[in-house]
Chains A and B, each alone.
Chain A
């Protein structure tokens, strides 16, 4: 029996080792790094709170946060509205439902690299599909990716197109948990479609909405490959994302300490925002 006692520890040993190397150490080391200047090659130099001071004065740090917020302001509502609308349409459809589901889901499984290259063509100024549609109805062309006031919103729409299929499925699962009797009872009371949606459907799918909000927020702060390929953070840093800025500081300038400080603060920000969202949603219920 003595030998048996060690079996569970043997089974979880790979996990513990992996956790120590790839989770525990990086978390601790990232805090250490925030107090140092380091280019990886020369020895680490302790600089106290300099990285923190620099961070709060760093225009690009605030710009990255501002850009992320601009992304989320479009991305989150658009995602919820489109996903909910498509899920509602699918929920009542029987014939062909699996085809539509599969079509909506296609961009979800494909690499963001592919989607970005594709949308770069759709959003092209001269030959892009969108501008051709606009000129066809004699509207002026839009500089989707070259106008600093528009570029981030274009990326937000693209990201919605890529992810929305997943949320359609999540909403469908949510909609199917609403008992049919609720609607029947509402019908007897003479409720309108909007009332049924507002007072029955919406409260029941609130947890799904929360999931969409949280996943989208994390996604917004993790945005990288889309601006990296499409705009390289431009024009005028208007699409510089949090992860892109971390990447630039670390791998273009080799400011490992400062880059870790950025990562640390963005992580805190994400956790903070998600906690606020959770509190807000719980209050709503």
Chain B
């Protein structure tokens, strides 16, 4: 009994702030100081004000575009490299494996400034390229693909080769359907990481129409544009959280398993 009491208390401490956030965003300004679970004097005005103050719709589309395109490219490039590392013998294979491990242990603090300078020199500042290209390959996803491909029977590949399949068709048509859990894990990790990333966009994007959601909401919260309008700020936070929370409701188990597998990798 005590155990359930403790667990319920803990769960409440994780859930209550989110519930408060949603109801506060739907409350009038004077309802914001209340701690209730239900909106006080319910109104949409915070959301109406928010959309008139900041181009959140555009930022939403930017975030979707960046996250979807990058995740797609991570899957394609990761599957190719993972397959080569798992199922092919070639000179330099171990070297590449060590490079991947090296990349994973490298703290981002060292690459941050030089990567920004690269973006400047490539003329990618204020473009989608700056938001996408640095993330289109990901060491962890290559390792996860490699592991999944190593677990598949060679007969599957041999049969496909006899049928005259090229390597790309083998990877994407024959093998990938057999490792869908891995594909889902990588999709979730990449998509979530990109959706929530705020630091890199703050560095490479200055131009409002190219900004992603976390960046726009951050600048809105830090810079004085919220003009002490707490309700609008909270509404913006709700909008930023909503898409990923909805995905989480549908793929809850996969989210947890994916994050756990990335944590255990280190």
Q: Is B230 in contact with A111, judged by CB distance below 8 angstroms?
A: no
CB distance from A165 to the nearest CB of B (A): 7
The answer to whether residues A104 and B11 also contact, given A121-B234, A170-B263, A259-B113 and a CB cut-off of 8 A, is yes
A116's nearest neighbour on chain B, judged by CB, is B221
Q: Which 8 A-B pairs have the closest CB atoms?
A: A26-B114, A267-B110, A111-B196, A11-B84, A26-B111, A103-B11, A267-B107, A8-B90
Closest partner residue, chain B, to A95 (CB atom):
B4
In whole angstroms, what is the CA distance A89 to B203 when docked? 42
For the complex with contacts A110-B196, A118-B17, 10 further pairs of A-B residues with Cβ separation under 8 Å are A23-B102, A30-B110, A99-B11, A104-B11, A105-B259, A109-B244, A121-B234, A221-B109, A229-B221, A259-B113
What are the residues of chain A within 8 A of B117 when measuring CB–CB? Answer: 29, 40, 256
How close is A239's CB to chain B, nearest CB, in angstroms? 14
**How far, in whole Å, are A92 and B218 apart by their CA atoms in the complex?**
41
Asked if A25 CB lies within 8 Å of chain B CBs, one says yes
**In the complex, how many angstroms separate the beta carbon of B90 from the nearest chain A beta carbon?**
4
Asked whether B160 is an interface residue with its Cβ less than 8 Å from the other chain, the reply is: no
A192 → chain B closest CB, angstroms = 18
B binding-site residues for A, Cβ under 8 Å: 3-4, 6-7, 10-11, 13-15, 17-18, 20-21, 24, 32-33, 35, 77, 80-81, 83-85, 88-90, 93, 96, 99-100, 102-103, 105-118, 120, 133-134, 136-137, 142, 167, 192, 195-196, 198-199, 202-203, 214, 217-218, 221-222, 230, 233-234, 236-237, 240-241, 244-245, 248, 252-253, 255-256, 259-260, 263-264, 266
Q: Are A169 and B256 in contact (CB under 8 A)?
A: yes
Contacts of A84 in B (CB 8 A): none
Known interface pairs A89-B7, A110-B245, A270-B107. Does A19 touch B218 (Cβ–Cβ under 8 Å)?
A: no
- Judge whether A33 is part of the interface by a CB distance below 8 angstroms: yes
Count of A-B contacts judged by CB separation below 8 Å? 242
Q: Determine the distance from Cα of A36 to Cα of B133 in the docked complex, in whole angstroms.
A: 27
Tell me if A122 and B17 are in contact (CB < 8 A).
yes
Q: Interface residues of B: mostly helix, strand, loop or mixed? A: helix
Asked if A264 is at the interface (CB within 8 A of a chain B CB), the reply is yes
User: Which of chain B's residues have a CB closer than 8 A to the CB of A221?
Assistant: 107, 109
A103 lies within 8 A of B15 (CB): yes
| B109 & A113 in contact (Cβ 8 Å cutoff) | no
Chain A residues with CB under 8 A of B24: 121
Contact B259 A263 (CB under 8 A): no
Chain B minimum-CB-distance residue to A207: B264
Q: Are A166 and B263 in contact (CB under 8 A)?
A: yes
Q: How many A residues touch the partner, as a band?
A: 35 or more
B109 touches A211 (CB 8 A): no
Contact assessment for A250 and B35 in the assembled complex, using a CB-CB cutoff below 8 Å: no
Q: Does A280 contact B (CB under 8 A)?
A: no
* CB neighbors of B among A1-43 (8 A): 5, 7-9, 11-12, 14-16, 18-19, 21-23, 25-27, 29-30, 33, 40
Can you name 6 A-B residue pairings with CB atoms under 8 Å? A89-B10, A108-B259, A121-B230, A214-B266, A250-B113, A263-B111
The listed residue (B6, B14, B259) touching A169 by CB distance below 8 A is B259
Decide: A93 and B3 in contact? CB cutoff 8 A: yes
Q: Are A11 and B80 in contact (CB under 8 A)?
A: yes
Given A27-B106, A90-B7, A215-B266, verify A166-B259 contact (CB < 8 Å). yes
Query: Interface 1/0s, chain A 196-229, versus B by CB < 8 A?
Result: 0000000000000001001100100110110011
* Chain A, Cβ-Cβ closest to B260: A169
Q: How far is the CB of B226 from chain A (nearest CB, A)?
A: 10
CA distance in complex: A228, B83 (Å): 41
